[in-house]
Structure 1
């Protein structure tokens, strides 16, 4: 049985057990838990109900002289798969892990990018945090990239792998903040590539950011400023990611990491280091294909497609039409696309686009 399936079965067993898990201190709540559980939205302490939460309703509250973020688990998660259905449980578990990490010497500094938790309870479906007075990242400049990868580095070394670095899960208030941990899973960084063990070497921290976030931003940059601007931004991200991976190799080696793990990380550094000039455009095409394809597949599996999903699918169709020979020469096609001819690949992508149109969420 795969590590992924083992984790899913463990989470489902916990849900069925009737056991509960709490994190934080109920006594620190600015309002009684029953009040939070039964919010209607017209209360005078409700600042706003925020859109976009697939697992939980998200509220902005003002009470006890400050503002708060309340997550209230949806009765029915909008992500229609096991990971989505157990994501609120997973978030409570990870909040407990992060609170423990912050309690270690120097922990508050290393994990400052992870939001604090006031109190959360799985069975009551409530999770309260301080309000982050920031916004979504509109421009991934060097400062933001450095801060994100520094946080990912510390999480990896702590044995936590974040799968969903999507735009809605990261905020910037002068520093990059991560506040959603529904798809963050434990793993052993000394022996494993990610929370699937060594079964899926395709997935790593930089890939997760590129797939779930950065390449969608690069796509918008292509439209607004041209491919040269997108390539320059891509090169910047690779430099920042490369510096992070160099540190990871050194720090993991000092802790006795398996040679296979170190070799796997060095492999990315080798590829990125060779990508200059014209070959940078080749790497952009190959990793753009990987990122857009994986994100499309993820949205289709969860039936959580958006206009951005359609835009990414359109990029894939155009790439298949215009750069098929380059894609095959770069070994960019993978999984169910591998071995397909040009017309068969385009037909598959067009069918996927039709499904993405059916699975549009509000």
Structure 2
């Protein structure tokens, strides 16, 4: 089996869809001998927005102190291996191949086949163990209480800002969503929470009290440092990350924090993809993230309008997201995603605010070709999957499509 064949097999498991529950992941981690050793600390992150950025900041801060860190995030933008990094380096293709071969032997007779996300987590945890990571940072895929990552006991739990998202899985009220996210909280282990809406904050406090877990709430941004990530909200993510690292007992000083924050990289979040024409990409895909994107846009461009290129997945709050993004856009170009979960352009048109100037395209590439002489800065947003397509168009490597 080649690496590409192994990936094809792994991607084929996306047909099993999303399956929430911990029995399968625990069994797979145990049989693959992928559980962390006792001297390895684990940080677990849940939330609706900012999980990836906060995970990356925790990783950068910890590495600046000399720790060997494993980072597990999702989804990837272009290359599957982005999801699994040790000290910033993507997992080698050969390691992915070897681990998949081993996993296939383990699960061949299982009545309930592991999902794509469960398998990816197992590959990551095995790699982190074999490379002797001292700290593992795990970003939940969806929710928290029954997310596969919760099968790994955590030393510190972090909850980023919570908003309505994945309502069909997590519930249709903020309280229900918060209950699922707060499900990552571990008995007597520190919890670090971002500032939340009151209803979500109450749920988190209740869950922390029930688990006798000390709760710290971060109510403001980090001041006095240059953060190499665009947007005022990243200063709040940075303060959240510092509290998490401190809760682990990792000593931080001014110089290490300064170095970590000035050298951090987290692609796809208000990232400049091209200068001529000017193209900005951002993975904003829900109202909370769209509002943060609008604020960041105004910080950089003032009152200058964008030419918006938009694509999304079916289940998102597209009408609200488009209403927010259209407030900074002179015209809108709609494109489907290269994904079976893509929102159709017809559905996107009906979600547009009234009297919005728009053009529909066959795909992202044709949309960008039509804008080669665009005078306004181009903003590509609506989905991290769309951002991955954009980066692939401007990069050298092949695009590895994912639906999870």
TM-score (ref. length: structure 1): 0.28
Is the helix fraction higher in 1 or 2?
Answer: 1
Q: Larger RCO: Structure 1 or Structure 2 (Cα < 8 Å, ≥ 6 residues apart)?
A: 2
TM-score (ref. length: structure 2): 0.26
